[in-house]
């Protein structure tokens, strides 16, 4: 690390948020967020109960230039004053990723700045360094609409996968459960709100991979059976929405805490010299307060500190992409990123290739 302060423009278009941000700082952080503009497409997708890729791509194309202009204006920074440009190159909806990455390539060429192609999951993973200056290594629980993983993070090119979902991601499971219960889109926040007034023990729901005949060691997740069990209950009887929401959320919490406990043991084995290990919780589901409280309790029992970024930085945003790009640029990566292609899938574990 050079200790040099970098100013980076970040662009994020991997799903249904069009975002741009300017971040300043140097690793390990904390950094300074000079601007963070996020345009959500929730209203456009609400009639369909989920994100429609074609609608998302078209919306990104229509507004990405204006969002970038706003981010630069809010930060009082010109393109010429930037040290580099970072853009999500995957994983995500390929049409959306293509819009943001192509725009970033054009800007980088036009103003002769380095371009850093960022793995969207790395953006989530490193947010706690932007906000709290968390040192490597740390244990990461990444929970969002499309991802559910536990990883040991030893550096920006050292991600060790301890467990991942074998079917639905946890955020996807929340959205599907909310739809079963007739709650509005986006389902995750709606179900969390409904659960506050419910009895978490009202409905007996399974904990896949954690209890029963299919319990297994390790840190993998499964949520599909839980969602199916809720649907069958709803077909057999009229459910109280608050009780059903609270029961579903309680099952999710039990699964997350059990799998995270297993990953904590794996992390300690990988990094035995860490005196005070840190659990970082990232992704949109990290904004769920009940899950956060349960993980705080688990961490206290297991001797881990917990770092959860503020809610606005847990959901998709460009500040996290800018910071990940800053860390990569500080380590000397990014010069060949003009050659990279957008990708729908891009595993985080292992060193992420910069160019193709």
- 281: tokens are 């919780």
- Please tell me the distance from the alpha carbon of residue 305 to that of residue 310, in angstroms, as a whole number: 16
Torsional sign, CA 25, 29, 30, 35 = positive
Torsional sign, CA 303, 304, 305, 309 = negative
Model pLDDT, residue 4: 83
Model pLDDT, residue 212: 67
- Please tell me the distance from the alpha carbon of residue 350 to that of residue 339, in angstroms, as a whole number: 20
- 349: tokens are 């574990």
Which regions of the chain carry the CATH code 3.30.420.40?
A: 6-131+313-339, 136-310
Mean pLDDT, consecutive 10-residue stretches, the chain (356 aa), reads 83 91 96 94 67 76 94 97 95 92 95 94 95 97 91 95 94 94 91 97 94 80 95 95 98 96 97 96 92 97 96 93 96 72 82 40
CATH superfamily of domain region 6-131+313-339: ATPase, nucleotide binding domain (3.30.420.40)
Does CATH place domain 136-310 in 1.20.58.220? no
* pTM: predicted TM-score of the whole model, two decimal places: 0.90
**Is-contact 338 103, C-beta < 8 A?**
no
Instruction: Please confirm whether the linkage preceding 195 is cis (ω < 30° from 0).
Output: no
Of residues 84, 12, 90, 15, the one with CA closest to residue 356: 90
Model pLDDT, residue 193: 97
């Amino acid at each position: 690390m050079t200790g040099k302060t970098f100013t980076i423009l970040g662009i994020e278009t991997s799903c249904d948020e069009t975002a741009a941000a300017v971040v300043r700082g140097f690793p390990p952080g904390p950094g300074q967020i000079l601007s963070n503009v996020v345009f959500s497409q929730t209203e456009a997708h609400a009639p369909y109960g989920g994100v429609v890729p074609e609608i998302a791509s078209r919306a990104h194309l229509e507004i990405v230039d204006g969002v970038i202009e706003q981010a630069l204006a809010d930060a009082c920074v010109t393109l010429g004053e930037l040290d580099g440009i970072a853009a999500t190159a995957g994983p995500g909806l390929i049409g959306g990723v293509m819009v943001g990455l192509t725009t970033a390539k054009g800007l980088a060429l036009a103003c002769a700045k380095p371009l850093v192609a960022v793995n969207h999951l790395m953006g989530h993973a490193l947010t706690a360094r932007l906000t709290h200056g968390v040192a490597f290594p740390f244990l990461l629980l990444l929970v969002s609409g499309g991802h559910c993983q536990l990883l040991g993070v030893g550096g920006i090119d050292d991600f060790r996968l301890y467990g991942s979902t074998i079917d639905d991601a946890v955020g996807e499971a929340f959205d599907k459960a909310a739809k079963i219960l007739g709650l509005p889109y986006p389902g995750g926040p709606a179900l969390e709100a409904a659960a506050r007034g419910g009895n978490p023990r009202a409905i007996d729901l399974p904990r896949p991979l954690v209890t029963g005949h299919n319990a297994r060691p390790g840190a993998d997740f499964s949520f599909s059976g839980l969602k199916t069990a809720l649907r069958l209950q709803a077909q057999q009887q009229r459910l109280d929405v608050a009780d059903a929401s609270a029961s579903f959320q309680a099952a999710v919490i039990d699964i997350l805490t059990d799998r995270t406990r297993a990953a904590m043991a794996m992390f300690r084995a990988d990094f035995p010299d860490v005196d005070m290990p840190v659990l970082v919780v990232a992704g949109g589901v990290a904004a769920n307060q009940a899950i956060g409280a349960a993980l705080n309790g688990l961490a206290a029992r297991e001797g881990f500190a917990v770092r959860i970024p503020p809610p606005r930085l847990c959901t998709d945003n460009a500040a996290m992409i800018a910071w990940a790009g800053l860390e990569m640029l500080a380590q000397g990566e990014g010069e060949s990123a003009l050659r990279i292609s957008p990708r729908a899938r891009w595993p985080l574990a292992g060193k992420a290739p910069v160019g193709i």
